[in-house]
Chains A and B, each alone.
Chain A
Amino acid sequence: MSPDRNSARPLPAFSRMLRLTRPSREDAIAFVILAGLGVLFFRAAQGAVAPLSTLRLEPVVLDPWFLPYYALRTTLRMFAALFASTVFTLVVATLAARSRHAGQLIVPALDILQSLPIFGFLTFTVTFFMGLFPGSVLGVECASIFTIFTSQAWNMAFSFYQSLRSIPSDLEEATMIYRLSPIRRFLKLDLPFGTPALVWNAMMSMSGGWFFVVASEAITVGNTSVTLPGIGSFLAQAIIKQDLGAVGEAVGVMALVILAYDQLFFRPIVAWADRFRFEMTASTERPRSWVFDMLRRTRLLPVVLAPLGAIGRMLLAFEPRVTRRRIVGERRTPAMVEWLWQAFVAVAVLVALFLTVRYVMRYLVWHEVLTAVVLGCYTMTRVLVLIVLASMIWVPIGVWIGLRPVWAERLQPVAQFLAAFPANVLFPFVVIAIVRWNLAPDLWLSPLMILGTQWYILFNVIAGASAIPTDLREAADMFHVRGWQWWRQVALPGIFPFYITGALTASGGSWNASVLSELVTWGDHKVVAHGLGSYIEEATIAGDYARVALGIGVMSLFVIGFNRFLWRPLYAYGERRMRLT
């Protein structure tokens, strides 16, 4: 090796930012954007730590000039929750994947938590967090953030866990052969490998998050009624005042906020995460983002990424010193430890069962349980009928779009945007219609459940239709396969696995949305549909913990049953018979 080779190593990371070249136009733009974001962040954070009395001193007002500030507060809540979910995911999912014992508990827990009606929790969390930070807005903020957290964390953790489980064994062996410590292995293999799926899942979860942040800002639990400054409480105020104009303003600002967060935050991250896609061929279509391109052209990307690198280096500081000992296979747990663990799990299960049964026996009568189950059947009927209706509308449209690449490219992001848009912002319009024309709530409130989630069906069908191989379509054309035969033998089998994924997501979302959509108000008008969702909502407003818990429990069972007995078999069937690749 020649001596000048040594000097070829790159400059230390920080000098790249200090390079004294003439600043470019992009530099200026990026700097201004970053500075602005910083100011906004502190402005919003100030409000979040104020004493609780400020909420009463400065109530939410229906002044459009305040809307940007409210939007900011709402957005900050979203990001706080996203941050918490990410940290939770990285810790819990990694633990579940690395430790068999932890996995034994965490994985089924995540699976169940994914199907819980998130909004039902609010009753408990508000009380808890207000107790944790007495007299400060922070407690209520935390409750709101926690609600969003519960809408994201479980499926993010689950997706990351699944990524970790699907790491190719040869890469795992390489990390063992070259003696990477657990921390280094996490940074070099686990984290990069799981990133693309995690980012995608976070984006999807955020969509659901908007729905809940809007709902969680104006909360009434029993005697406690809290209104946090935000778009959601602005909207709630508008509904109480029956101010249609203000509702429209809220909808407009919401749309702008979602557009901005998509363009400024998620698109760049998706574009960046593409480098971690595990594939050995250069992909033809890479996700693009103008913000990411701009950051890359400036010297700001290292600044943006520097904190990530710093965290990595900090973690590596905890790395144990190099062991010369050979790492041999997976160590087997001694039988004694194994036995103790299983015994511990068994005891924990028995104690939990005992506590639950005792609680249910004390506060609830069987009659009440029966009521909840019957109401659950109503809601289930709604979900089923709506999924079928939405499918009948969106499958043909999705296929039409998916088969036309130009349209697919244009409309796919639109469908994603619509999925992210919190449908509860639109509820008032429907309620007004119901009130004005005196429509039957049991029927006409139902569409609200699927208002926000039907888009999952649409964009999955679009994706599925664009994935039908051209040669199959050409073969169908050649043999003049048309009409119903074409749908039966070409289009429907082609989109089936995609459609199931979409319908599964839509159905899960609809169950969740039922808590908000079966009981809606417009001024003094209260419109209620019979169902498990309105049951939970009414119990929440009344502060009746036992009935809230019962409602959540029954709904969880319904959702889990739905997943196990309907979606999972369908999904397995699609994977087995209709996967085209």
Chain B
Amino acid sequence: MATVATDAKPLLVEVKGLKHFYTGEEHLVLDDVNLELTQGEIVGLLGRSGSGKSTLLRSIAGLIRPSKGIARLVPGPDVADPSVAMVFQTFALFPWLTVLENVELGLEAQKVPAAEARARAIAAIDLIGLDGFENAYPKELSGGMRQRVGLARALVVNPSLLLMDEPFSALDVLTAETLRTDLLDLWSEGRVPIKSILIVTHNIEEAVLMCDRILVFSSNPGRVVAEIKVDLPQPRDRLDPAFRALVDDIYARMTARTEMTAPMRDGVFPGTGIAMVLPRVSTNSIAGLIEEVDGTPFDGKASMSELADSLQLEADELFPMAETLQLLRFAELRGAELVLTPSARRYAQGDVDQRKALFAQALSQHVPLVQHIRRVLDERASHEAPARRFRDELEDYMSEDYADETLRTVTLWGRYAEVFAYDEDDDRFSLEDQH
């Protein structure tokens, strides 16, 4: 999908026809991604886990060589030799180096003279608001301060492009908010020499809050499914109706992507039949979500963004849960709204046994892998089968990790619904004994 570059500004990053496979497997992580980044913009890559957005970021950073296509930095009139720096989700600080030594790391590697390196590092530490902590070790700092060190370390090498890989997701809400605001202030006041910022996130509000442009990724494989320009003036207000509308719109687009990529009826998850990749969603989460939507104030119908707020979940966590409800026909995703079906309403009112029965029924009707396991167990005289057999079968269709996760999920669901039993020591499925 082509993206339109803002005309006047010079190009900084060019990604063309990028594809990436995991080595040794057919599993496609990124499929035909095109992206152009111009100077002066903050662009967000928004998607769920498994959408390959981190892979894209690392391809641009030069950490990964993509299987096909190119990802390059474009030299421009005022940036003869564009460079990148990266801020990591886990900060990636060296615990045995002080704040100052951590910040000097990149400068030392570039053979900047010691005196100059020291001066620049101290300036960067001041800029980011950490003066006084130069000689502290990372373990003495709070999460927010550590990420400030990560930021100072990135800014001090004067990169043309700042890459940020979910930079605030390991921080608590308040700290993340402060850091975001501080970064935006530095950026808008022109106090940092970076030309562009590319930020990977799965937090929809964060993307709308910070970015000039948002690229929405589908998962398995990762593709750009939507590009959204955010024209709201900075600083942005979360409670602004226009802001809320945009957030809802993005929720809807992230839901809608399924119809675009997977035209089949079942297809909330990639793959069909037993080859369907199932996310790890616990039966408690399913029950909790149904109860939440069933109760006040939603009464069976909730917008995804409100639901995310009231349950304090990231979009990344909420989507798999909502889609699991959809798979089991407990709910339907209409745009950005989740609407419970009558069977889900009954489930919400039911006692433990009724709930199990409803769940078992939904599993047997709508999850082909459960049907398959149950059929095999019924056919065998011993009513037992090694789990390995099904895992191998799944691996014909998906990567080893996905096969493992899918089977774990089905095991969890099947045990709860008492459709079959599983013994971990022997790694075997069996029919629940009937006593």
Contacts and interface: CB of A to CB of B under 8 A. Distances in A.
Interface string B140-166: 100000100000010001000000000
Contacts of B63: 173, 176-177, 329
Interface string A5-31: 110110000000000000000000000
B109 A179 contact: yes
Please indicate which of the listed interface residues A321, A328, A331 has the most CB atoms of chain B within 10 Å of its own CB: A328
Given A8-B122, A177-B86, A181-B109, A330 B61 contact: no
A321 B109 CA distance: 10
A329 B61 CA distance: 9
B109 A278 contact: no
Interface stretch (A279-287, A402-410, A468-476): A279-287
B399 to A, nearest CB: 18
Nearest to B120: A1
The main secondary structure of chain A at its interface with chain B is loop
For chain B, the bracket of interface size reads 35 or more
A189 B93 CA distance: 10
B110 A179 contact: yes
A174 interface: yes
B105 interface: yes
Nearest to B112: A322
B139 interface: yes
A467 to B, nearest CB: 22
B84 interface: yes
B283 to A, nearest CB: 23
A25 B130 CA distance: 38
B96 A321 contact: no
Contacts of B5: none
B235 interface: no
Contacts of B96: 192, 275-276
Nearest to B101: A188
A178 B106 contact: yes
Contacts of B95: 276-280
Given A173-B86, A178-B105, A188-B105, A328 B65 contact: yes
A282 B141 CA distance: 10
A330 B67 CA distance: 12
Nearest to A576: B424
A322 B109 contact: yes
A178 B157 contact: yes
Contacts of B111: 321-322
Contacts of A275: 96
Contact of B108 (A6, A9, A184, A327): A184
B180 interface: no
A177 B118 contact: no
Contacts of B85: 177-178
Given A171-B94, A173-B58, A330 B65 contact: yes
6 contacts: A170-B91, A174-B94, A177-B63, A280-B146, A328-B65, A331-B65
Closest 10 CB pairs of A and B: A329-B65, A178-B106, A170-B92, A174-B92, A326-B62, A1-B123, A192-B96, A180-B109, A170-B88, A9-B118
Given A1-B123, A280-B138, 12 more contacts: A8-B122, A168-B90, A168-B92, A170-B90, A173-B58, A178-B109, A178-B153, A276-B95, A282-B140, A322-B110, A327-B62, A329-B63
